[in-house]
Structure 1
């Protein structure tokens, strides 16, 4: 489940309601993953996001709020303003190939159905969807009752502000691109991931707490640890993280070619850790990202 909260903002397009969050009067010591890349007068800040935050976790620390204020351009994984309009496209993509009801064997089906009934839903609730969509839905259901969840994520928070402030907004990918990263996984990999979530449902709350703590501390080792199970699934890791990391580099390089501009690019913190993460790819391209 933590993997989904760090790797694809499109969860919020279907499962989350943005909630207003109260600002804290205390000094904010959080240091989420943040890098600065400079090139010929251009500055591009890369901020690792969590797509769901505890209520009360916003605004962001002062140093990040200051970067946002200075930025002429703010980048996100996808254009969040189109989320509602693209909901039919999402549902279509989640129902046009092999479905959970057909792919699971009898034991898997009963295990999933029993778990959904425990959450108060009919057992066959996910049967008419593909496993990747079921995984996303199940990941959020498993956090039901978590006291501190859910508030706006970092990206949704800044997207709303950027629109209000009239800042230029860029997207690293389209919703169709993001859906494809999940939808193109082999059926067996989708089923394996879904059933791994069901098997670890009782750990969802503690994992969420660990995720938030690791992100707030900017602790790459702990973030990697939270994601360790997903990193061990090669198909998932390649499609949802590495492939998307690579596809984002050209857009980031376009921002780095804008002399004199300050840009803030916000994406899931999972894209800043592990093999072939965005920072490593930029270093290989000749840039010198610096941890802030």
Structure 2
């Protein structure tokens, strides 16, 4: 799951970061067992499709937009269609607005222990063969081994979750969230955060070290599938199959050596609880307060993985009396 975080945080219009990647959608080549596991996870899952929804209650209108944070040329149409919603909104809610991104950068400078190991380095924490494979993988992404050795496992897992074909341009941060924020700034639409700026990073930093190392090894166990995993996620998202976009890469990831499928499923569930469910629950009062404090419609744009499921944002709002209607994306 840690390796999926960067890909579930994008979408750009101008410079296509995805152009250099040539992966294939792995759903077409799933084994029968993998297909069954994916179907089981999707069965009965609330609101598994639709990247744009309208929630209404007592005259209040809330547009919910599920995003990805990595560009794909197929998504230029949705960007153009969604821009007017933001321009006419009373408020745009985001996971990490520009001012909070600046706070995040400052946090990593003032609290280096969030990203850098204190004490033993990765060559000391990993078997020699695993460390050599890790150093090779990070070097392919522009991070030499002597630097990679000092990073926390969670941080390297997020880097290795993206294939090398994305690394040159990923720093442009020109995804859907940023495109919508640019539109808001140009139109004078206020923006606000759904959560404290350090919420997500502290989830990763607080993950037990053993679990972080598990996912770090998972990130390098399939060196040839990074582009395919990315294409699987993006293709499902472009089809507005956002639940499959989130779940398919997890189903496709094989258990680590010595780990049973049940144990791996349990770790995935733990991370999903922290990364999605707990945050979704915390967002609901923020959203409701934003609606109460504004006179016009509110737009909330966040990673599409937060939309579906019993504890997805859509279902949580439905349980609080909102009427949900799928909208064009």
Alignment of 1:134-283 (within 5 A): 134-140=156-162, 142-144=163-165, 152-229=174-251, 232=265, 233-258=268-293, 260-283=295-318
Aligned mate of 1:113, from 127, 130, 135 = 135
Query: Equivalents in 2 of 1:215, 1:147: separation in Å?
Result: 23
Which of 9, 23, 46 matches 2:64? 46
Structure 2 alignment gaps of length 5 or more = 17-48, 254-263
Please state how far the C-alpha of 1:187 moved relative to its aligned partner: 0.9
> Quick one: structure 1 residues 90 and 121, their matched pair in 2 at CA, closer, same or farther if it must change by over 3 Å?
closer
Select which of 57, 68, 76 maps to 2:94.
76
Report the CA distance between 1:147 and its aligned residue.
Answer: 11
Cα separation, 1, equivalents of 2:168 and 2:76: 17
1:20 corresponds to which of 14, 17, 20: 14
Equivalent in 115, 119, 125 of residue 94 of structure 1: 115
Aligned residue for 1:45, secondary structure, equals strand
Relative to the length of structure 1, the TM-score reads 0.81
Cα distance, 1:274–1:198 mapped onto 2, change above 3 Å? farther
Structure 1: runs of 5+ lacking an equivalent: 13-17, 23-30
Q: What is the alpha-carbon distance in structure 1 between the residues aligned to residue 320 and residue 118 of structure 2?
A: 38
Counterpart contact for 1:155–1:267, Cα < 8 Å: yes
CA RMSD of aligned residues (A): 3.2
Question: Which structure has greater helix proportion?
Answer: 2
TM-score by length of 2: 0.72
Give the count of matched residue pairs: 275
Corresponding residue SS for 2:150: coil
